[in-house]
Amino acid sequence: MSYIGNAPISAAFLTDTFSGTGSQVAYTMTVAPANTSSIIVAVTGVLQDPSTYAVSGTTLTFSAAPPSGTSNISVRYLGIPASGVTTTAYRTVTDFTATAGQTSFSVPSYTVGYIDVYRNGVRLVSTDFVATTGTTVVLNNACTVGDAVVTESFLVSSVLNAIPATAGAVNSTYLASSLTLTTPTLTSPTLTTPNIDSAQFATVSGSAPLYAARAWVNFNGTGTVAIRASGNVSSITDNSAGDYDVNFTTPMSDANYSVNGIAMRDSANIAVLCIYGNATYTTAFVSTTKVRVNVRENSNTSVDAVAVCVSIFR
């Protein structure tokens, strides 16, 4: 058979199996069905009428003990509740035809205080019957044969295992016993894919703040400029001898950051690293997207360096 949209999904009905003893009448089921009509019960392969058994929560009770046998009792659920959630309310109407003098009636599970009883079409007031067990109703006045008794029962419940959406609702009650809660204080942190290993801080002590570099790079500044390793640096622009732009992958929030670095020239000459520029501090040399650095040797000449290391802190 063809279908439109998603393919149909099917699953086997949940079934419990019990072994009768000849004397046992009560059996514990896997889940609690809504009422007797929510399950199909068979004994030795014979389908049982719902009037021959009752359900209360997960307890299935037969009016007469099933015969002895191995796995001769089967309970097939026509539907089961969603895990961890129950319905807000459901209503069940049950009709009875009373026998002479009958006062007690077995009804589907209900929440005490949420049941209406009618006798021959007349609603009884709460003082005319007793309904305190969740499964039975007992009339104060006995019925005559053929009386029509109708119960309208309600099972009222709520969502289970839910945490209220209020401040402070989550606390150590809901955590494993091995966990310890602390009270951390964060002041406007902005972290962008941090690569921080807790081992780096194992020997750190004192109350002074601990800062991580906003960007860093180690690159070859001779011949074809090439980055050896970096963090938040996308590329190096070779402007001229010893003159480089360090381009940031993620821009800085402003240009008032600290530039630190060192350059390696050769064994015969000393090289220093500085911010390229003139007497004016300008974003042409220090901006949110790049910083321009210059390598100079002892003769104050710009030179290429075999290794240039730059770190940005803010």
To which residue do tokens 């007349």 refer?
122
Q: What is the pLDDT of residues 9-54, one digit of tens each?
A: 566 678 899 999 999 999 999 888 888 888 999 999 899 999 999 9
Quote the Cα angle for 309-313-314, to 5°. 160
Average pLDDT over residues 60-70: 94
Q: How confident is the model at residue 246 (pLDDT cuts 50, 70, 90)?
A: very high
What is the per-residue pLDDT for 14?
84
Residue 273 and residue 294 in contact, taking contact as beta carbons nearer than 8 Å: yes
What is the per-residue pLDDT for 53?
94
Q: What is the pLDDT of residues 129-153, one digit of tens each?
A: 999 998 899 999 999 999 999 999 8
What is the per-residue pLDDT for 27?
96
Q: What type of residue is 93?
A: V
Q: What is the pLDDT of residues 290-313, one digit of tens each?
A: 999 989 887 788 888 889 999 999
What is the per-residue pLDDT for 180?
65
pLDDT exceeds cutoff 60 at 82: no
Average pLDDT over residues 270-297: 83
The pTM (predicted TM-score) of the whole model is 0.38
Pick the more confident residue, 83 or 228: 228
Average pLDDT over residues 162-167: 71
| 3-class SS of residue 278 | coil
CA distance 123 to 55: 25
Mean pLDDT for the chain overall: 83
**N- to C-terminal Cα separation, the chain:** 67
pLDDT exceeds cutoff 80 at 260: yes
Q: Which residues pair with 53 in a beta bridge?
A: 62
Alpha helices in 99-146 (DSSP H): none
Average pLDDT over residues 165-173: 71
Q: How confident is the model at residue 208 (pLDDT cuts 50, 70, 90)?
A: confident
For a pLDDT cut of 70, what percent of the chain falls above it?
77
pLDDT exceeds cutoff 90 at 100: yes
What is the per-residue pLDDT for 220?
92
Average pLDDT over residues 261-276: 80
Average pLDDT over residues 277-289: 80
**Residues with Cβ within 8 Å of residue 94, at least 6 apart in sequence:** 107, 108, 150, 151, 153
What is the per-residue pLDDT for 6?
59
φ/ψ region of 84 (left if φ > 0, alpha if ψ in -120 to 50, else beta) reads left
